[in-house]
Amino acid sequence: MKELLSAKYCPDEIEARWYEYWLNQGLFKSKPDNRKPYTIVIPPPNVTGVLHMGHMLNNTIQDILVRRARMKGLNALWVPGTDHASIATEAKVVNKLAQQGIAKKDLTREEFLGHVWDWTKEHGGIILKQLRKLGASCDWDRTAFTMDEVRSESVIKVFCDLYDKGLIYRGVRMVNWDPKAKTALSDEEVIYKEHNGKLYYLRYKVEGDAEGRYAVVATTRPETIMGDTAMCINPNDPKNQWLKGKKVIVPLVGRVIPVIEDEYVDIEFGTGCLKVTPAHDVNDYMLGEKYGLETIDIFNDDGTLSEAAGLYVGQDRFDVRKAIEKDLDAAGLLEKTEDYVNKVGFSERTNVPIEPKLSMQWFLKMESLAKPALEAVMNDDIKFYPAKYKNTYKYWMENIKDWCISRQLWWGHRIPAYYLPKGGFVVAENAEEALKKAKAKVDYPIEAKDLRQDEDCLDTWFSSWLWPISLFDGIRNPESEELKYYYPTSDLVTGPDIIFFWVARMIMAGYQYQGKMPFRNVYFTGIVRDKLGRKMSKQLGNSPDPLDLIAQYGADGVRMGMMLSAPAGNDILFDEALCEQGRNFNNKIWNAFRLVKGWEIVDSEQPETCKQAVRWFGAKLRATCNEVEDLMSKYRLSEALMAVYKLFWDEFSSWYLEMIKPEYGKPIDRATLEATLQFFDELLKQLHPFMPFITEELWQNLYERKEGESIMIAQIGDSSEQAGDKAILDEMEIVKQVISGVRMVRNKKNIAPKKGLKLSAIGSNPVEKYSAMISQLAYLDEFTTSEAKTNGTQAFLVGTSEFAVFIGDLVDVTAEIAKAEAEIKRLEGFIAGIRKKLSNEKFVANAPEAVVALERKKESDAQTKIAALQESIKSLRG
């Protein structure tokens, strides 16, 4: 035996070394050639983010797909990059500056952006570095950023183009206002959560009512009464008929407002009276428009009360809610309060309650964009895995609303609209162009300094929706060779939570700007949860640090841990035990390698057993490779991994290697060793996409390799079924069962594993030609065929064939008889069931012949077994 490697696989040094090698050899790089392309664009993580378990899952999947594509002869490209994430990043920097005592409002736009760029350069790309630890095979030379030059220019160009097409407009609308970030948000950025609040019943005095009566209004937001400009009742509400045509007085405020009538009001809710605050509620706004009501905006941008409120000016909206409750109560204007659960919208980014607010924003008309994008998915030009998300997608696309694309932020792509000194604006790609357009538009002299660019930025997703095109510079340069080659991309791997934010919009942009889909398949991953099913979160502290996990189990171990329980679209319940399983598997592979490479070679004739084993494992390998290919084509990655796992561990290690293993210290014949090395080579290739590092390490040491060679670019071979594969696979299953049968007898009777035994096939021996192999693996001294069983044997059945092990007086006659009788009873019940079926004329008449024939075979097999068992009982009683 040659020198031994360590009995355990140690990943750390190996992983770093091979990743370096792959980089140095340029193996992640791709450029267009005459091969078929395979392309993935990364869902760009936040530029200042750090790796979490969701990224691990998502990027492991992408890496598996891209590595396998590479090994199948495709020109595989995985493009990495990061997203500027305007709200999140700006919020982080604002906080950081605040800690240093710097307020954003005291900085100029340029100064502030200087701080954000510094922050971005300092923290940016950490996450991409972390991805390398995972083994991600991205073409790093192509690393892009949504705010780099190419992407920025693309965004502006698209904005101008859509504006010119009349798809972008500016207008005052009710938008979702984030008072912390002080910006508008799109509907998708609002998360509704249950909120335990109160329902306040407020008294609105009826003007001029002789009896001094009140109209009572139920509201969850008493602090908005300063903005009330009407009260609304349902004209069909019998209990409020008396209010028709009246005016009421807003409590505390004293403003007189009309009572209007609209069927929108729910008669059953509260008192049937609704306060109308057009500036601060979407529905009230709708009523306001309909009845021409005044709008009073009582809030400042930060959620404090404005001068317009008249009362509580400068106080925060939630403080005011408490204060006004007290004051109303003191004034006798609060009838009662009730506990009440309602849904409140929260900002996705800052997690503060959003405030519906009227403001001037930019919008993109979506209807025409949505049409081709909806069709593409519904007719499966673009396939979703799992397909259930087609429904979700369809519903959203059919009810799509215009997209609010402006954000009151500085960090992002500044809206290329330039306001003219005397009103109006022009939209242009840059200031120069803007000036030209402005000069053409107005009849007064105008200079560059007279133009004022819009202060706002574009929604981050307005850059990400172009990602599959802009990565290949296809917006600025639609004829780009790169674009033509790599676009449409192949697979997109992302979470279902951003199906509207991102996936749907990329599809729309794809058809708008390329007339083609951006990707052919979308694989939706699940959410990574802990093993109790809870979402991983910082608050709960239940999210492991991915880099710690890698340090502990190795990248390959963690990748496998993630993949073992990650069917597409299902949430994955992450358990470190799975990483442990992954690590153990690495170790198994490692040790199999140690065994195989430890043998000395001799040029002797190949033993029959080895010939048979090689023949069989070749067939098994081909069959499993085909199975894996099938599973991969259906994106059933965890099942594909499991198939290879079992192939390596059970079939290759536990069966094949035991079959060919020479006695301790003895050499192996050349033919067998060479076949085994080739099997190992193929196994490593099948495993490589899942576990890139260990497979490279072992592949490099399996044979002499030249500098520059790598398993990464080794090609997965042909695994077409060969003549006779099926037969030998079937035969070997019987062989295995015979061996297991003998081992079971040993176990039951406490016979040492290597104590020689005598086995005899009763009647005939279906596996006679494998006698040597069976004898070797079952440690038999003798394997014969005999007419009938003799005393002192323990029998077992494989199919309908019976085998008997000689164990002398170890036989427990009573127990054996009882066992045989129980089995006979079971079989009799089984036969009874079959006979019932077979005697049913309708069954025989209707069921396909094959099914009927099968039932007959079951019946006769069971009878054969019963006969054998009865024979056994007889001989036991002897």
Partner RNA sequence: GGGUUUUUAGCUCAGCUGGUUUAGAGCGUCUGCCUUACAAGCAGAGGGUCGGGGGUUCGAAUCCCUCAAAACCCACCA
Under rule CB under 7 A, which residues in 630-669 are in contact with RNA?
639, 642, 645-646, 649-650, 653-654, 657-658, 661, 664
**Nearer CB in complex with RNA: 6/95:** 6
Record the tokens describing residue 682, joined without a space: 């193929």
Is 275 a binding residue for RNA by CB under 7 A? The answer is yes
Among 140, 143, 837, 871, which residue interacts with RNA (rule: CB under 7 A)? 837
Amino acid identity at 215: A
**What angle (nearest 5°) sits at the alpha carbon of residue 441, between those of residues 362 and 161?**
40
Smallest distance, RNA to C-beta of residue 500, A: 6
Is 588 a binding residue for RNA by CB under 7 A? The answer is yes
Long-range pairs of 114-121 with CB within 8 A, sequence gap ≥ 24: 116/89, 116/90, 116/410, 116/411, 119/48, 119/89, 119/92, 119/93, 120/47, 120/48, 120/84, 120/89
- How far is Cα of residue 261 from the mean position of the Cα atoms in its chain? 49
Strand partners, 801: 798
**Nearer CB in complex with RNA: 365/484:** 365
Binding mask 309-348 for RNA (x = CB under 7 A): ---------------------------------xx-----
**Nearer CB in complex with RNA: 439/743:** 743
75-79 and 37-41 beta bridge pairing? parallel
Record the tokens describing residue 863, joined without a space: 């009878």
Footprint on residues 757-786 left by RNA (CB under 7 A): none
Footprint on residues 515-574 left by RNA (CB under 7 A): 531, 533, 564-565, 567, 570-571, 573
Select from 489, 634, 641, 509 the least CA-distant residue to 74.
489
Select from 646, 599, 592 the least CA-distant residue to 623.
646
Footprint on residues 225-264 left by RNA (CB under 7 A): 264
**Nearer CB in complex with RNA: 108/750:** 750
Q: Is 730 exposed, middle or buried (0-12, 13-18, 19+ CB in 10 A)?
A: exposed
Binding mask 166-205 for RNA (x = CB under 7 A): ---------------------xx---x-------------
Smallest distance, RNA to C-beta of residue 383, A: 15
Among 26, 73, 332, 598, which residue interacts with RNA (rule: CB under 7 A)? 598
Footprint on residues 467-486 left by RNA (CB under 7 A): none
Is 9 a binding residue for RNA by CB under 7 A? The answer is yes
Within a 10 A sphere around the Cβ of 229, how many other Cβ atoms?
22
Footprint on residues 418-447 left by RNA (CB under 7 A): none
Within a 10 A sphere around the Cβ of 534, how many other Cβ atoms?
11
Footprint on residues 665-704 left by RNA (CB under 7 A): none
Contacts of 769 (CB under 8 A, 6+ apart): 612
**Nearer CB in complex with RNA: 220/875:** 220
Q: Are 572 and 562 in contact (CB under 8 A)?
A: yes
Is 298 a binding residue for RNA by CB under 7 A? The answer is no
Among 833, 853, 867, 870, which residue interacts with RNA (rule: CB under 7 A)? 833
Is 829 a binding residue for RNA by CB under 7 A? The answer is yes
Is 756 a binding residue for RNA by CB under 7 A? The answer is no
Footprint on residues 204-223 left by RNA (CB under 7 A): 218-221
Task: Name the residue with tokens 């490692």.
Answer: 590
Among 379, 399, 539, 839, which residue interacts with RNA (rule: CB under 7 A)? 399
Contacts of 727 (CB under 8 A, 6+ apart): none
Collapse the DSSP code of 587 into the 3-class scheme (helix H, G, I; strand E, B; otherwise coil) and give the result: helix
Q: How far is Cα 305 from Cα 845, in angstroms, rounded to an integer?
A: 83
Total residues contacting RNA by CB under 7 A comes to 94
Among 740, 758, 810, 819, which residue interacts with RNA (rule: CB under 7 A)? 740
The span of 120-128, 281-289, 439-447, 473-481 binding RNA (CB under 7 A) equals: 281-289
**Nearer CB in complex with RNA: 587/606:** 587
The span of 23-31, 107-115, 313-321, 840-848 binding RNA (CB under 7 A) equals: 840-848
81-82 and 383-385 beta bridge pairing? unpaired
Q: How far is Cα 233 from Cα 224, in angstroms, rounded to an integer?
A: 18
Task: Name the residue with tokens 């991953």.
Answer: 525
Q: How far is Cα 795 from Cα 801, in angstroms, rounded to an integer?
A: 10
Is 153 a binding residue for RNA by CB under 7 A? The answer is no
Smallest distance, RNA to C-beta of residue 394, A: 9
